[in-house]
Structure 1
């Protein structure tokens, strides 16, 4: 009677175990890489400043949600309108009820792509200039804009996004009564300072 090929069976079993082990390691690596390719926050900061002849108006929002997907060179900001805080309660009331109609339009969004994300080394600390192309939706109006900014890399787990640009209320159907038109600027300065982290 021939002897069963025990050695061959043992070798095949060892090879199968090695294959599944390597496959498992590959799965872990791919999963980790997928997480490493995006950054998130729910506490981003956006401020705006209106400097008009008769009044200076400033507001700050610390409840901004943001996402940056590095592998796809795209991202988004979601800004809850009612989270803007003013120094004067009356200004905040007028902003929400009369100008932004925040019960009807509760959020503004900016969805964008990054033109030159390859210039950013997410493993090396530094302040990298970038340009974004995207669509801002405010109230019922959506407009394409380009926004220059910076991605600041401080460590491997978080980044800071910085940008400054201006918007005209008239472009987004924000009606300014004649009575107060000298108190609100024709162009509103927007500043973004948000720290995003890996999930």
Structure 2
């Protein structure tokens, strides 16, 4: 009997140690601003993310300065005047995947949580696709961001160059997370 109890304790401690955490191995975040005079696009491959399958928590951190633009001047204005990356170096999402049963395969899912951009935090619900295949997870989503919601001010001189709502697209590939 004691051997069975010791075995069960050992088994449960081993199972508790199994990692259900996944860390992003690659990422691509881009945004698109359709405007009267000129469309603006930028991309960022430096975002990082963690997903915990046990509680379906997700965290995403996006370094603002890592967005690259076709025109260097656009990148300067973006960092200095609009997103003020010297004051607010990261955008973050912290939340839970609420509509996903954790099953293998591709499925639509919803994440609810807080999105922080430009020092302003807002509750959001973001719909995306999750493709879970063994040791790999891919997350894809596209969602709108209203600049006014995050107090990103657009000077009147360039008002027609920048849309009030930008379309954000994100793709993350995840692998099992192992602490070193």
The answer to whether 1:38 aligns with 2:24 is: no
Number of the residue aligned with 2:69: 86
The answer to whether 1:76 aligns with 2:39 is: no
The CA deviation string for residues 135-170 of structure 1, in whole angstroms up to 9 with x for no partner, is: 1111121111111111112x3111001111001111
The answer to whether 1:180 aligns with 2:158 is: yes
State the shift of 1:67 in Å. Answer: 1.0
The CA distance in 2 between the partners of 1:72 and 1:115, in whole Å, is 10
State the shift of 1:27 in Å. Answer: 2.6
Aligned equivalent of 1:62, options 31, 45, 61: 45
State the shift of 1:21 in Å. Answer: 5.5
The answer to whether 1:133 aligns with 2:112 is: yes
Runs of 4+ deviating beyond 3 Å: 18-26
The CA deviation string for residues 66-111 of structure 1, in whole angstroms up to 9 with x for no partner, is: 1111111221111100011111111111100111110110001111
Over aligned residue pairs, what C-alpha RMSD do you find?
Answer: 1.7
Number of the residue aligned with 2:122: 143
The CA distance in 2 between the partners of 1:179 and 1:111, in whole Å, is 35
Unaligned runs of at least 5 residues, structure 2? none
What is the correspondence of 1:156-167 to structure 2 with a 5 Å cutoff?
156-167=134-145
The answer to whether 1:109 aligns with 2:89 is: no
Q: Scaled by the length of structure 1, what TM-score is found?
A: 0.82
Larger radius of gyration: 1
Equivalent residues, number: 177
* More strand per residue: 2
* More helix per residue: 1
The answer to whether 1:194 aligns with 2:172 is: yes
The CA distance in 2 between the partners of 1:42 and 1:57, in whole Å, is 27
